[in-house]
Chain A
Amino acid sequence: MISCTEFIPAYSELFKYLHAKGGEAAVRDFWNYLSDNFLGNLKSLAEQHGIRGCWMYWSHTLNEEAADFTMELDEDKGKFSIIMHHCPSKGRLLELGHITPYPDYCGHCDVLYRRVLEPLGFECTADLSRTDRAECAFWFRKIPAE
């Protein structure tokens, strides 16, 4: 058994394996597949609760992942944000001296979540410019119906 505490390096190595098989496109195909087949919980919460569904989803995952973060929900404005002060996943990968993270490891978050939320009428913005320090930020806004 690969423990869930060892999953992140397994995930990163899977991206490397797929990249060796078919380049960036093969990795993207997998991210799309995972988004379509593994994020049903996020989709259901966003469908049922709107922007609060994002708060509910990440309240669960980020606490279980022991992340260092600030989340903010402004339901009146239909906005939700995550400021990741230190990502536990990328942080672990950077700490491992004997394996190198997949170069675009953090790209999966943007692809996976955007693919679920944009079709539901959410605007998604990501800042991945500081992932080399395990920092990132995501902003989501529910676009009001016309």
Chain B
Amino acid sequence: MPKEVMTRQAADNVYLHKDFHGALSRGIDYLHQQFGAEAVREYLWQFATAYYAPLKEDLRRRGLVAIQEHLERVYRTEGAAIQCTRTADELRVEVAACPAVMHLRSQNVPVAELFHETTRTVNAAICDGTPFAAELVAYDPATGRGIQRFYRRPS
């Protein structure tokens, strides 16, 4: 049987490996089992504070439009649409179905019990140290359907 060779350059493909959602879900489950729920939140807070530092700075500088643009880009990349309603002091984001949760369900990969913290805690950490705060108003663990709210903290 002849040798088979496959050579690819980065530009040959689009970077979108949805199975990574499964690795994250497993990671969250592992932290939950080994170290407890608070460790999941602590890890996600630390990650979000470090990784989204440029977004936090953009939020301070431009306000809630920075969050809206970020979330629209993220969900569009994953092939999902979101509905955003924004004023100067509040941004409401409606997600019909979370593409991460839907991918996990389609692959029969378990969705971590605390998977919603990848939204709730991450959003809160992004807003920490800015004039804004975040809350996860509604969330359906079956589909990831939910409502995220960002708002200016009362002075």
* Contact assessment for A14 and B43 in the assembled complex, using a CB-CB cutoff below 8 Å: yes
* Contact assessment for A64 and B118 in the assembled complex, using a CB-CB cutoff below 8 Å: no
A114 to B16, CA, bound (A): 25
**Could you say which interface size class chain B belongs to?**
35 or more
**Could you say which interface size class chain A belongs to?**
35 or more
- The reply to whether the CB of B62 lies closer than 8 angstroms to some CB of chain A is no
Q: Which residues of B contact A137 (CB under 8 A)?
A: none
A11 to B26, CA, bound (A): 11
* Contact assessment for B4 and A66 in the assembled complex, using a CB-CB cutoff below 8 Å: no
* Contact assessment for A4 and B18 in the assembled complex, using a CB-CB cutoff below 8 Å: yes
* Contact assessment for B24 and A61 in the assembled complex, using a CB-CB cutoff below 8 Å: no
A-contacting residues, B1-44, CB 8 Å: 1, 3-24, 26-27, 30-31, 34-35, 39, 42-43
* Contact assessment for A73 and B7 in the assembled complex, using a CB-CB cutoff below 8 Å: no
- The reply to whether the CB of B142 lies closer than 8 angstroms to some CB of chain A is no
Q: Which residues of B contact A129 (CB under 8 A)?
A: none
Q: How far is the CB of A139 from chain B (nearest CB, A)?
A: 14
Q: How far is the CB of A74 from chain B (nearest CB, A)?
A: 5
A62 to B17, CA, bound (A): 9
- The reply to whether the CB of B54 lies closer than 8 angstroms to some CB of chain A is yes
Chain B residues engaging chain A, CB cutoff 8 angstroms: 1, 3-24, 26-27, 30-31, 34-35, 39, 42-43, 46-47, 50-51, 53-54, 74-75, 77-78, 95, 98-100, 118-119, 122, 144
